[in-house]
Structure 1
Amino acid sequence: MDMETADKGAHAKFVLTGPEGKFDPRTTAHRGDLADIALAGKMFAPHYAESMPMRCSAPKAMLRKQPGKDHEAISELLHGEDFHVLDIAGDWAWGYCGHDNYVGYVPVHALQHEKKTPEPTHLVFARAALIFIEPDYKSGVMKRLPMGARIACGEASECGNYLKTGKGYVHVRHVQPIGTKVVFDGSNGTAALAEQLIGAPYLWGGRSGDGLDCSGLIQTILTLTGVAAPRDTDQQLEALGEDIAADEELRRGDLIFFPDHVGLMVDKERIIHSTSHAMQVIIEPLADTIARFAKTAEQPILARKRLS
């Protein structure tokens, strides 16, 4: 792929004005031979590239550390989400996700240029949404989209129960306009959204109802309540919520951080989380989770956070 690089055209030159700063490699588009042009002057690279704006056209696509299906999955790109491509080699595109800047490789066939796809207007907030051929649940199903997928919806059907998409119809009870917040249980809908995912399999790197890891669960449900959350547990620990005083009782919707793990309280005593211990999303007593971590960690709970 012939990407636009910084040394083309006007032969622009970039000079580091000081030592390279510390960057998180998970969210910094820099590799040995190439870097995002936004890093020019901050980090050295033989070439810099302007990103090509793409969008996920598949229901979902795994983001991997290296190109190839056998390499480790590090996150997941969902339908309608933006992906900024910096390089394409063979069947794999290297770049970063628009929603959280996470860097990795995705299959080229899962992407389309954003100019060839309509701007998403709605988010899937049900565990999954079906795209029907006609505005009728008895008609054929064209596609299944997971929770968190973004979709362009147009006019409502005559019955008002379906919205027209580029291909087929989606039920109004499965989607919400982007920018609105889902409220299921009073002031905090995060726990109710998480409860829809009970039984979903644990999947390292996953962030959809078809499979997700602990931080993927938190990121997905917070997105639906209008909160932009980073991808990984340590990033979420640093960025999300306010510390809860040690003598204060936990509430529904509070976040509990463990070593390399995170969960969400459904009440003052029970937690919902996607855990490799059960290999699925479960609700269990917080005391049971603490007891497991206490076997290997001196400090089982790293933080208790409350979202505003």
Structure 2
Amino acid sequence: MTRTAATSSSRRRVKGQNFLKASVNSSTTQAERAHAKPCDRFGLTGPSVVLDRRINAVRGDIADIALAGILFAPHYACPMARRCAVPSVPVRDRASEHGAQISELIFGESFDVLDISGGWAWGYSAADHYVGYVPEDALAPPLEGSWRVAVPEARSDAGETLFMGSRIDGIVDGDLLTSAAGAVALDDLAGPDAVFDPVSLAELFLGAPYLLGGRTVRGIDCSGLVQIAYGMAGIPLPRDSDLQAATGTPLAEGEARRRGDLAFFPGHVGMMIDGERMIHATAHSGNVTIEPLADVEARTTAAQVRRP
């Protein structure tokens, strides 16, 4: 288990899982440092390296210009800032509606485009650098997005659906915010200085269906739930559970688990709501649910024993 606050290279295994403390602090990775480079200055000074293509935009024909100093590609592209202009849109692993959903953009989130072809934009989410394809017509020029939706699902008077974490701009008019998506109740929104408990936010998703790659109340996966809840609390996390596990501080031997700690299993993550129970989006139950940690441990151990 880990408590989300400083990065540590060591991990303590506890019955097949890791525990991270409850205040994750994202660290600067090699790829993130590379992304800070200007587009007009680069050079490869050594052999190319193998990068995680989930979070580093590189294909056989093109790569992000930010990677030019560490990886060879036939062509490099400068990212073009865009944002999600629809309530939500799947991020897919290939330029096709039949491609697997690997993540999801929600309204107002930034997406950096590196290539557009056949109606599909290839690039990465600006928040977590997760790479994939989205329909070109789901994107629009960026906005500041100083307000965030703070409930699982909000509706504007224009009939637009806005999911938790959606970013909008507008003008306050009484108890409403008038935005490009229509008028939205201020009670459903949060300003930039709002403070949240990530566990309380995760609990708002109880019963939401499990969807691999999902990040909304209409469908969400384990790491998506953790990412949305902690992101709303001002703590950005990577997209996948193994990447999230690399960003926190492991609990010390014998240290008690507490609310907000993250429990990691092979390919899975949940959030402790107290010392004994965790909330997680799980394919086992098909939804977001609360279970005793001991039950999840036992089920994981049994699955590992059955494995040939």
User: The residue matched to 1:239 in structure 2 has which SS?
Assistant: coil
- Give the CA deviation at 1:180: 3.1
Q: Structure 2 matches for 1:144-293, cutoff 5 A?
A: 144-157=161-174, 161-182=175-196, 189-240=197-248, 242-293=249-300
- Which residue of 43, 51, 70 maps to 1:23? 51
Aligned equivalents of 2:227 and 2:41: distance in 1?
38
Find the structure with the greater CA-based Rg: 1
TM-score (structure 1 length as normaliser): 0.83
Aligned equivalents of 2:291 and 2:186: distance in 1?
32
- Give the CA deviation at 1:108: 0.9
Structure 2 residue identity aligned to 1:192: S
Q: Is the CA contact 1:124–1:150 (under 8 Å) kept in the aligned structure 2?
A: yes
Q: Is the CA contact 1:146–1:210 (under 8 Å) kept in the aligned structure 2?
A: no
TM-score (structure 2 length as normaliser): 0.83
Q: Deviations over 1:49-95 (max 9, x none)?
A: 11111110000110011111111111111100111111111121001
- Give the CA deviation at 1:179: 4.8
Q: Structure 2 matches for 1:55-66, cutoff 5 A?
A: 55-66=83-94
User: Cα distance 1:291–1:119, how it changes in 2: closer, same or farther (>3 A)?
Assistant: same
Aligned equivalents of 2:271 and 2:244: distance in 1?
12
- Which residue of 145, 151, 175 maps to 1:120? 145
User: The residue matched to 1:273 in structure 2 has which SS?
Assistant: strand
- Give the CA deviation at 1:254: 1.2
Aligned equivalents of 2:170 and 2:233: distance in 1?
19
Q: Deviations over 1:132-190 (max 9, x none)?
A: 14xxxxxxxx2111111111132232xxx2111124211111111135322xxxxxx11
- Give the CA deviation at 1:259: 0.8
User: The residue matched to 2:108 in structure 1 has which SS?
Assistant: coil
Structure 2 residue identity aligned to 1:32: G
Aligned equivalents of 1:15 and 1:124: distance in 2?
42
User: Cα distance 1:247–1:52, how it changes in 2: closer, same or farther (>3 A)?
Assistant: same
User: Cα distance 1:179–1:34, how it changes in 2: closer, same or farther (>3 A)?
Assistant: farther
Q: Deviations over 1:230-271 (max 9, x none)?
A: 11001100013x222332222121111111100011121111
Aligned equivalents of 1:14 and 1:58: distance in 2?
35
Q: Which residue does the alignment assign to 2:156? A: 131
Structure 2 residue identity aligned to 1:150: R
User: The residue matched to 1:296 in structure 2 has which SS?
Assistant: helix
- Give the CA deviation at 1:15: 4.8
Q: Which residue does the alignment assign to 1:6? A: none
RCO (CA 8 Å, sep 6+): is it higher in 1 or 2?
Answer: 2
Structure 2 residue identity aligned to 1:168: G
- Which residue of 122, 135, 144 maps to 1:94? 122
